[in-house]
């Protein structure tokens, strides 16, 4: 799956001590894997910005040269999508500065407000990582793919044959069949969109202000400071008393995560309605 792809990309592209930029908030496994490999993680706090952009990269590189940058669009935990022009500027800036780009596109085909744009459309030197676990609903099958610059193909193959050999044959066969299930998958995406509309309306009404635009994926990333300044304790209390689970922001952003929480809307519409009703009753 994509987790193996990140290991392979980091091992092939970076050495211990190299500085690699990621966005905060962002997927915590980026930070954890790179830390285990001795890579220096440069977390760029997005603040009021919804996504990583070229100026962030220039500023971090001026402070001390970067070897790489990793970003996701649509992003986890925010669901934000980098607009096409901003994505192009980000990739172009990285190329000009000699910064190797990894684009995590695991939530592609789950964008609601704009068409999908791959970083590959912005530059030939980009490494793209994707998986069957999100749009294709194959979580747990552990199968994904990478698109690499020519010079990285053999290094990644050599590392992969030692660490992983290959995905299971059953997963490979199922993945090929998944390409023929567009009608069914689009029906799942339509349910996500229905849930998204509900959460976009109801969460702010309940005091959970959206901290990022819900452009894609299946997450609402919220500012919870109207209710708490400790999202971890708040999430535990909500789970124990309202029986609704959400993810506190601390894993995604060690600095500001106490202020935020991620809600997933990947479940059924009835579950979303029930969860919101429970939260509303619990908050009274």
Long-range contacts for 149-153 (Cβ within 8 Å, ≥24 apart)? 149/124, 149/125, 152/12, 152/13, 152/127
Q: 213-234, pLDDT tens digit by residue?
A: 999 999 999 999 999 999 999 9
8 Å CB contact between 105 and 118:
yes
8 Å CB contact between 25 and 46:
yes
**CA 256 to CA 43: how far, in whole Å?**
12
Query: Which residue, 169, 217, 167, is CA-closest to 193?
Result: 217
* Average pLDDT of the residues in 200-225: 97
* Average pLDDT of the residues in 230-253: 97
Rg (CA), the chain: 19
**CA 72 to CA 52: how far, in whole Å?**
9
In this model, does residue 129 exceed pLDDT 90? yes
8 Å CB contact between 82 and 216:
no
In this model, does residue 68 exceed pLDDT 90? yes
**CA 264 to CA 245: how far, in whole Å?**
9
Q: Which CATH class is domain 2-178?
A: alpha beta
Q: 74-105, pLDDT tens digit by residue?
A: 999 999 999 999 999 999 999 999 999 999 99
Long-range contacts for 208-211 (Cβ within 8 Å, ≥24 apart)? 208/261, 208/263, 211/78, 211/260
pTM flag (> 0.85): yes
Q: Determine the CATH number of domain 182-283.
A: 3.90.1150.10
CATH 3.90.1150.10 domain range(s) in the chain: 182-283
CATH 3.40.640.10 domain range(s) in the chain: 2-178
């Amino acid at each position: 799956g994509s987790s193996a792809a990140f290991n392979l990309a980091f091992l092939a592209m970076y050495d211990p001590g190299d500085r690699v930029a990621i966005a905060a908030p962002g997927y915590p496994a980026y930070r954890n894997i790179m830390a285990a490999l001795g890579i220096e993680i440069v977390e760029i706090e997005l603040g009021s910005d919804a996504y990583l952009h070229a100026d962030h990269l220039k500023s971090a590189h001026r402070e001390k040269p970067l070897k790489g940058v990793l970003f996701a669009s649509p992003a986890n935990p925010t669901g934000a999508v980098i607009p096409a022009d901003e994505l192009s500027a980000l990739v172009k800036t990285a190329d000009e500065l000699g910064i190797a780009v990894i684009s995590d596109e695991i939530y592609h085909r789950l964008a609601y407000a704009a068409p999908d744009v791959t970083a590959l459309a912005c530059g030939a030197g980009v490494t793209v990582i994707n998986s069957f676990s999100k749009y294709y609903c194959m979580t747990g099958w552990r199968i994904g793919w990478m698109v690499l610059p020519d010079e990285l193909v053999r290094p990644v193959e050599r590392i992969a044959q030692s660490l992983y050999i290959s995905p299971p044959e059953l997963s490979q066969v199922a993945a090929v069949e998944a390409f023929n299930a567009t009608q069914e998958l689009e029906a799942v995406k339509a349910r996500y969109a229905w849930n998204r509309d509900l959460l976009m309306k109801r969460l702010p009404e309940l005091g959970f202000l959206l901290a990022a635009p819900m452009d894609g994926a299946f997450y609402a990333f919220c500012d919870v400071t109207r209710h708490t300044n400790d999202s971890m304790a708040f999430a535990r209390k909500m789970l124990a008393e309202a029986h609704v689970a959400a993810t506190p922001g601390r894993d995604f952003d060690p600095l500001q995560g106490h202020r935020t929480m991620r809600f997933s809307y990947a479940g059924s519409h009835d579950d979303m309605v029930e969860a919101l009703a429970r939260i509303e009753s619990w908050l009274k």
